[in-house]
Amino acid sequence: MIIRSKAPLRIGLAGGGSDVSPYSDQYGGAILNATIDLYAYATIEPRSDDKIVLYSVDKKEQLVCDSEKHLEIDGILDLLKGIYNRIVKDFSEKPLSFTLTTYVEAPPGSGLGSSSTLVTTIIGAFVEWLRLPLGEYDIAKLAYDVERVDLKQAGGKQDQYAATFGGVNYMEFYANDKVIVNPLRIRNSVLSELSYNTVLYFTGTSRDSSRIIMQQQQSVNQNETDKIEAMHQIKKQAVLMKEAMLKGDLNEIGPILDFGWQNKKNMATGISSGLIDTIYEAAMKAGSTGGKVSGAGGGGFMFFYCPGNTRFSVIETLLTFGGQIKTFNFSKNGLTSWTI
């Protein structure tokens, strides 16, 4: 028997950062994101030799150990271990023996939610294997708890829900971990044009988002009014983006992205850099009407909205900086699992 699962990565179109506690607890957060056809994959193969084999193909890391109820969190494939520990604690109560193989189509720290999507994917595989009675909200909440509570990794809430639900979603975040996912019915012609006009560019660098996120959390805790106001504007951007997407006002997408990016840079230091600013300005001169760094900022992927046929001149300009263009389409499906 072989159990497989996959979940899509996401682009955060608006509101990024407002899903991070304590801001979302005090003021409420709002995010608009869309999943794309880049995926995290997980395969579970049950064993009968009381061994656990964990293998990350893209990171080229492998661990072989005895099957126990709890695996030590020691810096080696901790995401995979953390998920196993929680699954055994909450649902199995006895050790499991299996081989778990994972692969993600984007590097860690790239800003597409790769780590959280991987956690969601692995949980989906365990749900399929053990026939666990978990719905979409349950899986996303469990993925969040593993990362943010058990492993104490700083971050927001949007990635786990995007990977689980899939599609274009307007998400609301409140105190006590309350999350409401509102799927948006976007016309196919609007999604196709949005995909055609969006250029996804990998800067060639990854970054540790936790430092930037912890700065955002500290700003709220210390009541730094300028940074909190920037977060308010970011939340407003999500509402503007939702209206533009639903109405099909594609000419508004670029300016709304630019509005968000200018405010996002005020949320914490390190979100932008001299190189990122130079790349952004060059893309705007080449015909883009707005863009942003995907995720918390600091590196990874950037994306730009390029109306008409300006995508070609923007791509030509971006390639002069030594990065890579990543082609994609929007994905309507979220977490999927199956058994062979």
What H or E segment, with its residue span, contains residue 216?
helix 209-221
Asked if the model's pLDDT at residue 286 lies above 70, the reply is yes
Mean pLDDT of 97-115: 91
pLDDT in tens, 229-240: 989 999 999 999
Our answer to whether residue 159 is catalytic in this structure is yes
pLDDT in tens, 143-173: 999 999 999 998 889 999 999 999 999 999 9
**Of residues 49, 50, 78, 159, which has the active-site annotation?**
159
Mean pLDDT, the chain, as a whole number?
93
Look-up of token digits 């957060």? 29
Q: Kindly state the tokens that stand for 203.
A: 């800067």
d(CA 19, CA 242): 16
d(CA 217, CA 19): 11
pLDDT, residue 297, reads 63
Domains and CATH numbers, the chain: 3-185 (3.30.230.10), 188-325 (3.30.70.890)
SS3 145: helix
CA end-to-end span of the chain: 6
Write out the E strands in the chain. Answer: 3-14, 29-46, 51-56, 61-66, 98-104, 168-173, 179-183, 198-202, 290-293, 301-305, 324-325, 336-339
Give 22 or 212, the one with higher predicted confidence: 22
pLDDT in tens, 121-139: 999 999 999 999 999 999 9
pLDDT in tens, 171-226: 999 999 899 999 999 999 999 999 999 999 998 876 566 777 777 778 787 888 88
Q: Kindly state the tokens that stand for 50.
A: 């009381």
SS3 184: coil
Exposed, middle or buried, 22 (CB in 10 Å: 0-12/13-18/19+)? middle
pLDDT, residue 77, reads 96
Min mean pLDDT across 12-26, 32-46, 211-225, 270-284 is at: 211-225
